[in-house]
Structure 1
């Protein structure tokens, strides 16, 4: 079907939908469909925070009317049609999935709503306010208009704390220096409750283990002056508060069970004392001296819920324990203080595990094949929380389509790597870290990879790194690798690939940089995981610098031949910025956006970035309407699109933007509508890639695509299918880059313009 034909029939389809979604004929006789309410607010004087107050009052206008879409009661219509005795399968299905029960005026109680409005205003300090309503009925619909007349608010003249001779009274008086209740502030029940919570939290930190904010009471005296609208506020403890609720507690005993199990035989347990903490275990499972470093509470300290929570977080962050439970027991004592025993019950995870993943890989450039990943994990390797991960990878790909010139193309990839993660800082000198939220970890990694690109070349690489990673809080993650080494060896090159390198000196230089030595840093600030947050965001920052230390040594030694241990080394700086914002309309609907910007700058010993560090664009996690590695750089287009062209389609700069609307379809099946835009560019001019250099008109060289997607969302596992088409092609002549026809009926058009992507997980 041509786009022109679709556009011409669109008004007819919309008219048919409008006519079909009329619900008036379904409204029972004697009933009125409730269409909602409006609220008018009148004040005697300028009121601070009036918009917030009005929004709070509007939330009281219940019930909420039936929802509309483009002015139509689509969900209500689906309910009416699907509830009929003669309803067919389609109407019953629509009613089950999107149907909405009707809201009639008989369910509305305006007088009750008026009372709620007045009550809410009194809670906000607007005593003697008034509210009224007016009902409008028209045909079979009813609407309510509410009016709230807000009085002059009462304001605080004096705050008085009633005191006794107890220690807790002195503590509360000291806390009132930072009170939320300032002189002249409006009476507000929410503020009073917040003040009680603040006092409760502060007292808990000072050791008041059994205190509760319900022990506090505020009493307001408004009999000062009716004309001035002032009130005095009295704060005191309630009568008959239990004694153990108003005394501070200290920690007298700390027991730690590093290998806790309900089946554990108590007679076989031994106790080791470190810093007045009792580590109780049978066979040695975790070295007490090391485990002691994760616990922030100490004997003789007053109870502190913050230190208790952070101690549990730190123990959990080791990565060896399935459950970490801290339980306090009150100890009997005759003095004026309370006494506690802290028990840490730590339940270890399975020490050794093996996970195997058999994957079927399909790429948008028509490569497909099987892959096998095997991961062996050994936890608590040296009885200090260390985790050893050994990973083996095998992957085979072959060209499944693409013409006679691409037959026989294949790729074999083998990989073996190991990471040792140590839950403490390993440095040349002892580091007594006390990161409160979680424990910094030292990571040592080594790996090797073999890649045979069918008949073109063989690439062998060896990498190693040493660094640290930690969570500053539940959202912020840091990782820094002061030592990052990578050695790459290109061999068994074919005459065809040698010619590719000869035609592009920049590409040749990027493959010749066999040694990469540098430092890299990664930072993530992630609030996307909270599905109940309306506005969620993610910030990712990556920094990567290589070759500078070696270059400095070369200059000092006056060698400066661009080689280290006989290998060409790379010198560059690279920065990546990843910004994501999710607007969660409700728990099932999300508008997800992403903006990615990255730039690598070769300098000194290098004219281009190493090939493995360069950017590419297109594919299932990029601009999905273009095949992987098929965009750019800039307006460059290879003479022939074949498997060899993607070597040239990399760059030093990458810029991409994405927007995606995610919505439910049925059960585990989700849908998506998306649009992507982006491209890559070169820092330096490359005659072999005309149009590839970054210029001031970069925005006119963006590739743009749009499409639809299906997701099978099984909790933490998502299988994704995306079908996309380009709507702006950067390598076409200026003025012709926007697509203006979509011939879905043409097989040749579909082959060239419909790109199918299969992937695991959401793209952003």
Structure 2
């Protein structure tokens, strides 16, 4: 493997050497490839990326100094038509031979395919950036404009194109800036023609983006124009537009000070061929008409149904399907209030979030009954979506647990089920798969030895469903929703086989585009293990450890736990051996202290993973996300979640005076309920470095502490490490806890730290690549686990944080990204101290990950 790695590296270096010699092979003798831009201000080199972004010409994109896309572009033949003509069309012998083999039509297609492939290479690659005097001059002017817009009105610029003597056909460009003294904003005056606008400005002038004593910046004036436009349009000035705002800046004999005058003219009024100006007015909403079943086909039909509610008038071409308050609660444009852009936007957002209408249409027209021309009539046109919608899912998957899996499902959505804009959804799902390990208990050789089937019901209300009014805490513009959901599923031949029942009462609301909140008032989950006797067939590592201990020759037992081949019998032998050690009744002797502790650890893990779970929890999630759409390159995302479980049941059982079981725990429905507190913090940040280069980082921390009625965390609420979206140098569930070395099939714990850093860059076309470093691990803390290697006791245990690094390829299909990553164990905490760095840093021990979309 080391020789193979050396050959790959040698091939890569050779390829780089070959390519690096041909970057300028397509250039004409008088052309130079741009290799570098340098900007100097007062003889000091400028480092500000905002300044460099003003340049029209930038060097070809490169990685490690190699312009791969340029080299790929150079593979295309610039004179492909002439080459094909000489090679095929003018060579009658070759042409006739190919026509006889392919036919004349296929021969023409062959020639076209060669041309199209050549064009694809040119489109996918990157043409050489040739130093151009005209473009350089335009860059100089852009630099002058940038400095001028930032307050240096007397800026002087120059440039120089410098050919590189040591490299043929290459040049760099140096730009020279002499900014001189900047201008500062001084006095701010106003000239506002309309009295209502002047009054609004005076009330809110303290919020102005233009501050006296601050260096002039054109962006501040643009921001002030945006602020004023929003201020006026949200306070009744319906027909206001930014074009009415202008600024007059006086800098004559002011000693580098800018005296500013804000000018807002009256509204332009066109009557025939004449143009006049009239003052702006504050407009009020006189009527709001809502058409609940409008379609283009209905436009000429008579209205047959109507209703009034809190000043709103609702109309229907057919019998109205909605209770009036269900619709008016989603409309923030109210009769008797002044016009507001914000209320219009909130109405659009709320109506869309109901999922019962197509995109609404809101129109404002002057009220013909108003002689002052200030009243507006609002017409809201709503087009219902179909009452019933069917959906189907189908998926093929592969993981470290199953070699092949098929998942399928279907759902039925019923809109407006109770005429109050409520949505009811019922769905079913199922899957079959072939496991990587049939758990050793299957007597047949079925290919599909894994199966799961489940069903869910969900009812959503467009309000906070509580017995008291929450309007003051969560206003309607925050788009509040309440959801009641029930779910049931059963798994067969997956581990211990499970039945899962869940029920959730959930509230969510979004105060802004960036911020969303979710509160699970009740999150109930009941997990029942159906095949506990199969434990040691599933968790083979634990079984192998027990088997090795009992066969050391030093262990004496009063019972025969072994079969005819000398192996522990499952489950009787393994369980009996564990019980004998745990009871310490003398039936088992000869164990070392390490062996005894290992068996105790195995017993604790078995009891925790085979016990039924009743989780009666509440949780709250805060999410701040500045990402606006799928194509945003720079954004940040912060998520905080806190969850508590078992407190309500603990209070009930304590008040009721219920008896505890033999382990000292209260039981509800025959199950010792879980009790814990859990918190998670997750932060993601993306930086756009330009030219499709992205630096992405993530930090995660989580801990779940059991208390009261529990001494451990349910498996479903614990943390794991490794996998394609975590530390990619380890497979999922293989890393940790601590320095234990991932001795179990599914390694999990109740504390986790994870940090990821990834540099993403474009190779050619839609093919991207990345280098990454993943750091993190899981530990047990304040729970039943006593294994020193697995527990976090002090900050010195941070030495057990694992480090993985690697690289990957990503192909962007626009609607999703197919990802392939290779992770190498850079620092492995499972190895002894002093032997952890780069011991398995090779392709033989690498982990190969395939995923959909980016890991974070």
1:308-341: CA deviation from partner (whole Å, max 9, x where unpaired): 1112111112122231222222334674452222
Q: Is the 8 A contact 1:624 1:724 kept in 2?
A: yes
Q: What TM-score does the superposition give when structure 1 sets the normalisation length?
A: 0.85
1:211 and 2:222 matched: no
TM-aligned CA deviation for residue 167 of structure 1 = 3.1
Q: Which residue number in structure 1 is paired with residue 339 of structure 2?
A: 303
Q: Is the 8 A contact 2:232 2:240 kept in 1?
A: yes
Cα distance change, pair 21–390 in 1 and its aligned pair in 2 (3 A): farther
1:577 and 2:681 matched: yes
TM-aligned CA deviation for residue 418 of structure 1 = 0.9
**In 2, Cα distance between equivalents of 1:447 and 1:128:** 70
Q: Which residue number in structure 1 is paired with residue 179 of structure 2?
A: 150
Which one of the candidate residues 739, 755, 776 is aligned to 1:635?
739
Which one of the candidate residues 641, 664, 671 is aligned to 1:542?
641
Q: Is the 8 A contact 1:31 1:104 kept in 2?
A: yes
**In 2, Cα distance between equivalents of 1:232 and 1:688:** 73
**In 2, Cα distance between equivalents of 1:354 and 1:385:** 18
Q: Which residue number in structure 1 is paired with residue 208 of structure 2?
A: 179
TM-aligned CA deviation for residue 624 of structure 1 = 3.5
Q: What TM-score does the superposition give when structure 2 sets the normalisation length?
A: 0.77
Q: Is the 8 A contact 1:546 1:570 kept in 2?
A: yes
Q: Which residue number in structure 1 is paired with residue 21 of structure 2?
A: 21
Larger-gyration structure (1/2)? 2
Which one of the candidate residues 792, 795, 800 is aligned to 1:694?
792
1:564 and 2:593 matched: no
**In 2, Cα distance between equivalents of 1:654 and 1:496:** 26
TM-aligned CA deviation for residue 760 of structure 1 = 4.3
* Secondary structure, counterpart of 2:618 in structure 1: strand
**In 2, Cα distance between equivalents of 1:352 and 1:531:** 29
TM-aligned CA deviation for residue 131 of structure 1 = 3.3
**In 1, Cα distance between equivalents of 2:646 and 2:855:** 32
Which one of the candidate residues 603, 606, 626 is aligned to 1:527?
626
* Secondary structure, counterpart of 1:623 in structure 2: coil
**In 2, Cα distance between equivalents of 1:119 and 1:754:** 52
Q: Which residue number in structure 2 is paired with residue 642 of structure 1?
A: none
More deviation, 238-247/390-399: 238-247
More deviation, 142-151/6-15: 6-15
TM-aligned CA deviation for residue 387 of structure 1 = 1.4
1:261 and 2:295 matched: yes
Q: Is the 8 A contact 1:572 1:609 kept in 2?
A: yes
Q: Which residue number in structure 1 is paired with residue 493 of structure 2?
A: 453
Cα distance change, pair 397–210 in 1 and its aligned pair in 2 (3 A): same
Cα distance change, pair 754–405 in 1 and its aligned pair in 2 (3 A): farther
More deviation, 675-684/252-261: 675-684
1:366-410: CA deviation from partner (whole Å, max 9, x where unpaired): 443322222222121112121112122222333346998999694
Q: Is the 8 A contact 1:511 1:610 kept in 2?
A: no
Which one of the candidate residues 736, 748, 760 is aligned to 2:835?
736
Aligned CA RMSD, in angstroms, stands at: 3.8
1:650 and 2:739 matched: no
Q: Which residue number in structure 1 is paired with residue 157 of structure 2?
A: 131
Cα distance change, pair 352–671 in 1 and its aligned pair in 2 (3 A): farther
Q: Which residue number in structure 2 is paired with residue 391 of structure 1?
A: 427
TM-aligned CA deviation for residue 153 of structure 1 = 4.0
Cα distance change, pair 24–443 in 1 and its aligned pair in 2 (3 A): closer
Which one of the candidate residues 300, 305, 314 is aligned to 1:270?
305
Q: Which residue number in structure 2 is paired with residue 247 of structure 1?
A: 281
**In 2, Cα distance between equivalents of 1:663 and 1:116:** 27
Cα distance change, pair 420–633 in 1 and its aligned pair in 2 (3 A): same
Q: Which residue number in structure 2 is paired with residue 440 of structure 1?
A: 480
**In 2, Cα distance between equivalents of 1:157 and 1:626:** 61
Q: Is the 8 A contact 2:156 2:179 kept in 1?
A: yes
**In 1, Cα distance between equivalents of 2:798 and 2:386:** 53
Cα distance change, pair 245–257 in 1 and its aligned pair in 2 (3 A): farther
Cα distance change, pair 250–21 in 1 and its aligned pair in 2 (3 A): farther
> Map of 1:660-679 to 2, 5 A cutoff?
660-663=758-761, 671-679=769-777
More deviation, 709-718/276-285: 709-718
TM-aligned CA deviation for residue 493 of structure 1 = 2.8
Q: Is the 8 A contact 1:130 1:150 kept in 2?
A: yes
Structure 2 unaligned regions, length at least 5: 85-113, 270-276, 537-570, 580-601, 661-665
* Secondary structure, counterpart of 1:358 in structure 2: strand
Cα distance change, pair 383–171 in 1 and its aligned pair in 2 (3 A): same
**In 1, Cα distance between equivalents of 2:440 and 2:308:** 75
Cα distance change, pair 470–512 in 1 and its aligned pair in 2 (3 A): same
More deviation, 552-561/716-725: 716-725
> Map of 1:593-612 to 2, 5 A cutoff?
593-612=697-716
Structure 1 unaligned regions, length at least 5: 44-49, 640-644
**In 2, Cα distance between equivalents of 1:77 and 1:490:** 59
Q: Which residue number in structure 2 is paired with residue 169 of structure 1?
A: 198
Cα distance change, pair 718–376 in 1 and its aligned pair in 2 (3 A): farther
**In 2, Cα distance between equivalents of 1:667 and 1:30:** 29
Cα distance change, pair 584–516 in 1 and its aligned pair in 2 (3 A): same
Q: Is the 8 A contact 2:55 2:142 kept in 1?
A: no
Which one of the candidate residues 494, 498, 508 is aligned to 2:533?
494
Q: Is the 8 A contact 1:413 1:451 kept in 2?
A: yes
Q: Is the 8 A contact 1:510 1:608 kept in 2?
A: no
Aligned residues: 741
> Map of 1:96-115 to 2, 5 A cutoff?
96-108=123-135, 110=137
As a proportion of its length, which structure holds more strand?
1
Q: Is the 8 A contact 1:510 1:609 kept in 2?
A: no
Q: Which residue number in structure 2 is paired with residue 427 of structure 1?
A: 466
Cα distance change, pair 14–700 in 1 and its aligned pair in 2 (3 A): farther
* Secondary structure, counterpart of 2:296 in structure 1: coil
**In 1, Cα distance between equivalents of 2:486 and 2:173:** 71
**In 2, Cα distance between equivalents of 1:660 and 1:536:** 15
Q: Is the 8 A contact 2:68 2:763 kept in 1?
A: no
**In 2, Cα distance between equivalents of 1:371 and 1:135:** 62
Q: Which residue number in structure 1 is paired with residue 589 of structure 2?
A: none
Which one of the candidate residues 450, 454, 459 is aligned to 1:415?
454
Q: Which residue number in structure 1 is paired with residue 596 of structure 2?
A: none
